[in-house]
Amino acid sequence: MANPDISTAQESTPAPWQDQKPTALLVLADGTVIEGQGIGTTGTAVAEVCFNTAITGYQEILTDPSYAGQIVTFTFPHIGNVGTNDEDVETIDMNTNSGVRGAVVKTDITDPSNYRANRHFDAWLKSRGIIGIAGVDTRALTALIREKGLANAVIAHSPDGNFDVEALKREAAGWNGLVGADLAKDVTAPQTFTWDETPWVWDKGFGSRKEGQFHVVALDFGIKRNILRLLAEQGCRLTVLPATATGEEILALKPDGVFLSNGPGDPAATGDYAVDAIKTVIDAGIPLFGICLGHQMLALALGGKTAKMHQGHHGANHPVQDKTTGKVEITSMNHGFAVDGESLPDNVEETHISLFDGSNCGLAVKGKPIFSVQYHPEASPGPQDSHYLFTRFTNLMRAQKGLEQRPE
């Protein structure tokens, strides 16, 4: 669609509710008003609108803290059709909203059709305080974002269909957006905790690891449960610290390795307090692994720069090339900021790039046990091509202990 016209969104696929009064609006900062039917909780929320191209895993997406401050537009039309359950949640607190502010879907929510479901998607949205709008041509909205960039907007749901549209337009236009926003402090755990849960196994559920070969300290900028599960599976005993932890607090725990988690917001803003802690770990020579926001802040600590992206990367089918091997991985991504690969200093190697736009997706420090990736190797949702990176991290710790390496 070369010139997307979102005003035609309700015309392309007639739906039963089109003769009804709209009970939800998505109002963009440029004044565009998109009508639909409200789902989830009622009220209003201002946020950045992004799009996600994954066809599965909507529950994991909407509980990923990296989406804090955003409204997720799903390009796949059938969202909510398998209901929700108590296992596919990525927030550490199972009952707390991850910070996502809204969901935009195309078709009405059907009744659950999956043996694992224990709650209707609409009821689940209400329970987590997420506002939704259905009946939108989400692909037209996606085309608009691709043309004009990530949009600030207000999502509103009122069962009586009464809205002050002009006030919503002013609110959307007046919001400052995510540049300069430190959102990690809003989603990080308030205190230190330990972790022993391992990945889900068919017909068995989640396991546990009470003892670990390696002690890993993870900085929680909005960490996902499946990251911790995969680290535990690799033999790690995990201590998770709040985002504001200092380098001294990290080293006092005598970790074998340090992990920098994913998270939301502008990495430069979170870096105001986190970069010094990361520099302390770098200087200590401890194996270090970062994902997503953790990758971006590692780059900042090493002297690189980050920048806001035009449309961001959000989906479960993003091809990434490992420049060191030539291998291509299909990855899960969720980020609206990126590391400027050209800003990395000479002692830092750019290891991975996006095959969609050439943007930086990985780095490693030459001669040191330090690396990071922009994408989400833990998936949830997404492909498992990149699970080997967790073995790579533990191999760095094995090397420091003089232990035999494991194949990736």
Closest CA to 156 of 146, 164, 148, 144: 164
Q: Cα–Cα distance between 250 and 246 in angstroms, integer?
A: 6
As given in the structure block, the two tokens for residue 148 are: 């004009």
Closest CA to 151 of 19, 387, 275, 336: 336
DSSP 6: G
- Give the list of residues 6+ apart from residue 127 with CB closer than 8 angstroms, or none: 95, 119
- What pLDDT is attached to residue 210? 82
Taking the domain 6-174, which CATH number applies? 3.50.30.20
Give the number of residues written for the chain: 408
Q: Which amino acid is at 354?
A: S
CA distance from start to end of the chain: 42
Angle at 258 between CA 253 and CA 263, to 5 degrees: 115
Taking the domain 184-401, which CATH number applies? 3.40.50.880
- What pLDDT is attached to residue 3? 39
Q: Cα–Cα distance between 31 and 344 in angstroms, integer?
A: 39
- Give the list of residues 6+ apart from residue 403 with CB closer than 8 angstroms, or none: none
Q: Cα–Cα distance between 127 and 85 in angstroms, integer?
A: 12
Q: Which amino acid is at 157?
A: H
Neighbouring-strand partners of residue 91: none
Where in the chain is CATH 3.50.30.20? 6-174
Give φ, ψ of 119 to 5 degrees.
-155, 145
Q: Cα–Cα distance between 144 and 7 in angstroms, integer?
A: 11
pTM for the predicted model, two decimal places:
0.94
Please state the separation of Cα 326 from the chain's center in Å.
26
Order of strands across the sheet that contains 306-322: 193-195, 236-242, 214-220, 257-260, 288-291, 370-373, 360-365, 348-354, 306-322, 328-339
Angle at which helices 388-401 and 225-233 cross, to 10° = 50
- What pLDDT is attached to residue 2? 37
CA atoms within 13 A on the CB side of 192: 11
Q: Which amino acid is at 230?
A: L
Q: Give, for 355, the enclosing helix (H) or strand (E).
A: none
Long-range contacts: 210-213, Cβ < 8 Å, 24+? Answer: 211/237, 212/236, 212/237, 212/238, 213/237
Residues with a known catalytic role: 292, 376, 378
Residue written as token pair 């900062």 = 29
Distances 393 to 85, 144, 252, 298, 300 between C-alpha atoms, Å: 31, 40, 21, 15, 20
- What pLDDT is attached to residue 6? 45
Please state the separation of Cα 248 from the chain's center in Å.
28
Where in the chain is CATH 3.40.50.880? 184-401
Go through 264-293 and write b for each residue having 16 or more CB atoms within 10 A of its CB, e for each that does not: bbbbbbbbeebbebbebbbeeebbbbbbbb
Separate counts of helices (H) and strands (E) for the chain: 10, 19
Averaged over successive runs of 10 residues, the pLDDT of the chain (408 residues) comes to: 40 50 97 98 98 97 98 97 96 89 96 95 97 97 97 98 98 98 96 96 91 96 98 97 98 98 98 98 98 98 98 98 95 98 98 98 98 97 96 98 94
Please state the separation of Cα 318 from the chain's center in Å.
14
